[in-house]
């Protein structure tokens, strides 16, 4: 059977990149290929930043430039416009992690509301997005995940922040997505997300929650979510991802002396991912799907299910997304065949984005094949242009 998407078409994938941008990207991925160098540089940069040495410019000129949109919302505008010229949407993600004061959480809530307004006023920005721990402490989510009956003023404030965000989304009819984080805090975060969906996803899907399919119990969770959406009569928005915290999950399981929550193998994760997406496609009268993945096989399978279910790739219930700086062969070739596709663009001051950048660097060195694939495509396009 003919493929729906030609992931090998580098001309389309890199049409918006100049020759010098290709050289820079290739240089970066050549470095990311070297695991020891990446680990060493990560440690060195964190140490240098802690000592307030002037190294921000190095990060800004390399990984930040490749994977981020800018230091503030407004600085992302040129990138958003450039993506728009190729029919690709943007999702702007204020990438702060590890904060722990109530003032910061309130401030972040206001910022997320600003992002919703920005998205609503710019048709190139498809979704607003936030992390649970940008509006509350991880330990509070963890506590309520272990015992949902605990009375917690902090958790009540988190709930209020979630609903403030939901109200803004509702007032502006702007869809929002909630990220997923560590498994040990997800149960309470999922409960809040479901409460938000029950309240705001009555007529249309305004709220999407993220499901990490690398979790061994993810399929069961999805079944329970769908069941709840049916019995309480609301619509479900699901952002499917594999999961970005594998090393942390392993370390946590080891520390606690419990089995890891993550599937035993990559193959098992892949199977769960595709099985979960297939279940969502069986329930599209209730479920809207966002596929956050760089996996060509899963993307092709989902595109095929979308064509079978809707007769078109351009349907409001199916979205695709990749991270800025990765897998352009998927993003631009999907857009070329008419699918709705977005780049997730982190932004923020360099220091605040650093944990995200370190995750990307580690991911690109640890995922077998990811960096190799990026390099192969970049080399192929350079060769095509010079021939």
Ligand X SMILES: Cc1cc2nc3c(=O)[nH]c(=O)nc-3n(C[C@H](O)[C@H](O)[C@H](O)COP(=O)(O)OP(=O)(O)OC[C@H]3O[C@@H](n4cnc5c(N)ncnc54)[C@H](O)[C@@H]3O)c2cc1C
218 touching ligand X, by CB under 6 A: no
**Shortest distance (Å) from residue 219 CB to ligand X:** 14
**Shortest distance (Å) from residue 226 CB to ligand X:** 19
Q: Which is nearer to ligand X, 374 or 381 (CB)?
A: 374
**Shortest distance (Å) from residue 46 CB to ligand X:** 21
Q: Quick one: which of 245, 281, 319, 332 contacts ligand X (CB under 6 A)?
A: 245
Residue 80, helix vs strand vs coil:
helix
134 touching ligand X, by CB under 6 A: no
286 touching ligand X, by CB under 6 A: no
Strand-pairing partners, residue 323, are: 344
Stretch that binds ligand X, among 22-30, 136-144, 228-236, 288-296 (CB under 6 A): 288-296
Q: Which is nearer to ligand X, 56 or 300 (CB)?
A: 300
Q: How many helices (H) and strands (E) does the chain have?
A: 17, 8
370 touching ligand X, by CB under 6 A: yes
Applying the rule CB under 6 A, the residues between 89 and 128 that interact with ligand X are none
Residue 3, helix vs strand vs coil:
coil
Stretch that binds ligand X, among 194-202, 224-232, 275-283, 321-329 (CB under 6 A): 321-329
- Measure the CA angle with vertex 295, ends 290 and 300; round to 5°: 75
Stretch that binds ligand X, among 188-196, 276-284, 290-298, 333-341 (CB under 6 A): 290-298
246 touching ligand X, by CB under 6 A: yes
Strand-pairing partners, residue 74, are: none
> What are the helix (H) ranges across 4-137?
10-13, 19-32, 35-50, 56-59, 65-67, 77-85, 102-121
Stretch that binds ligand X, among 35-43, 109-117, 155-163, 289-297 (CB under 6 A): 289-297
How far is residue 227 from each of residues 129, 231, 272, 274, 386, measured CA to CA in Å?
Answer: 25, 6, 18, 19, 55
Tokens for 12?
Answer: 């389309």
Q: Which is nearer to ligand X, 174 or 370 (CB)?
A: 370
Residue count, binding to ligand X (CB under 6 A): 27
CB 348 within 8 Å of CB 95: yes
Q: Quick one: which of 266, 351, 384, 385 contacts ligand X (CB under 6 A)?
A: 266
Q: What share of the chain is helix, strand, coil (3-state, %, to 5)?
A: 60, 15, 30
> What are the helix (H) ranges across 122-182?
138-146, 153-172
- Binding positions for ligand X, rule: CB under 6 A: 179-180, 210, 212, 214, 241-246, 262-263, 265-266, 269, 292-295, 321-323, 344, 363, 367, 370
């Amino acid at each position: 059977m003919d493929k729906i998407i030609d992931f090998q078409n580098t001309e389309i994938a890199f049409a918006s990149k100049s020759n010098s941008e290709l050289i820079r990207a290739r240089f970066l991925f050549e470095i990311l290929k070297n695991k020891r160098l990446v680990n060493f540089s990560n440690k060195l940069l964190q140490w240098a930043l802690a000592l307030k040495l002037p190294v921000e410019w190095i990060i800004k000129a390399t990984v930040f430039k490749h994977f981020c949109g800018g230091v503030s919302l407004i600085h992302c505008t040129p990138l958003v416009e450039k993506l728009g010229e190729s029919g690709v949407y943007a999702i702007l993600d204020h990438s702060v992690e590890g904060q722990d004061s109530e003032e910061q959480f309130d401030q972040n809530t206001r910022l997320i509301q600003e992002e919703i307004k920005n998205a609503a006023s710019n048709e190139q920005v498809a979704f607003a997005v936030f992390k649970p721990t940008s509006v509350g402490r991880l330990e509070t989510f963890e506590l309520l995940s272990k015992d949902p009956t605990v009375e917690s003023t902090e958790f009540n404030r988190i709930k209020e922040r979630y609903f403030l965000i939901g109200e803004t989304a509702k007032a502006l009819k702007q869809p929002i997505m909630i990220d997923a984080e560590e498994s040990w805090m997800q149960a309470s975060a999922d409960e809040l997300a479901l409460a938000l969906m029950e309240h705001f996803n009555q007529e249309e899907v305004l709220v999407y929650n993220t499901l990490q399919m690398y979790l061994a119990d993810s399929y069961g969770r999805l079944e329970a979510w769908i069941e709840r959406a049916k019995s309480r009569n609301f619509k479900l928005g699901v952002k499917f991802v594999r999961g970005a915290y594998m090393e942390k999950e392993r370390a946590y399981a080891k520390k606690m002396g419990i089995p890891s929550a993550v599937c035993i193998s990559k193959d098992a994760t892949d199977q769960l991912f595709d099985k979960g997406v297939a279940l969502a496609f069986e329930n599209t009268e209730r479920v809207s799907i966002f596929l956050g993945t760089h996996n060509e096989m899963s993307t092709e399978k989902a595109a095929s299910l979308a064509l079978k279910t809707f007769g078109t790739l351009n349907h409001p219930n199916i979205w695709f997304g990749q991270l800025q700086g990765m897998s352009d062969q998927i993003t631009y070739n999907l857009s070329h065949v008419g699918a709705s596709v977005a780049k997730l663009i982190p932004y923020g001051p360099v220091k605040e984005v650093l944990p995200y950048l370190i995750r990307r660097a580690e991911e690109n060195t640890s995922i077998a094949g990811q960096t190799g694939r990026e390099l192969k495509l970049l080399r192929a396009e350079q060769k095509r242009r010079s021939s």
